[in-house]
Amino acid sequence: MQEILLVEDSESDVRLFQRTLALAGVHNKVRSFATGNEALAAFAEIEGMARREGGSCRSVLMIDLRLPDISGFEILAWLHQRPVFASSLRVVLSQLDDIASIRQAYELGANSFLIKPAKQEDLDELIKVFPGYWHRAWDTPQLASG
C-alpha cells in the first residue's frame, strides 16, 4: 500500500487532513513532516532505499507551499530532479491560490493543487482522477469466514 507523506507545519491542518482522509474512506498510512528539511531528509532516505532495491517511490506526496524553513516549491524542484519519484503522486496543499503559484507548482511536477483546507469533495475528486494511489476499505475484497 502506498504511503501518504504529508509535508505540513500546522498540526491542526495535519489533523484536519487525516479526518478528511478518514471521511473519504482512505486507509493509507500517513507520515507527516513539520518542516521541509525534515521531509527532504526522509525523501533522500526513501530515494536511497528505492535505488538499492531497483524500484521507485509510488507514494502520495502532499506538500504545503509555506513551510518554516524551505518552501514547498523547493521540495517540488528537488523531487522533480529525481527519477525515483517520477511515479509518485505529488499534490500541493496551499492557501496560496494565485495563478502564478499554481502554474509554478505544476511546472515543478505537481500532479494536482488543492486549496487549504482540503474539502472532502476535493479529495474524492483526487481519488477518482488518480485511483491507483489510495487504499480504501471498500476496494479490498472481503475474506469469506467459515
pLDDT tens, residue by residue, 65-94: 999 999 999 999 999 999 999 999 999 999
> 136: pLDDT confidence band, cut at 50, 70 and 90?
confident
Sequence spans of domains, the chain: 4-138
DSSP character for 139? G
pLDDT confidence of residue 141: 46
> 1: pLDDT confidence band, cut at 50, 70 and 90?
low
- What is the C-alpha separation between 114 and 143, in angstroms, rounded? 36
- What is the C-alpha separation between 84 and 61, in angstroms, rounded? 13
The third-level CATH classification (topology) of the domain covering 4-138 is: Rossmann fold (3.40.50)
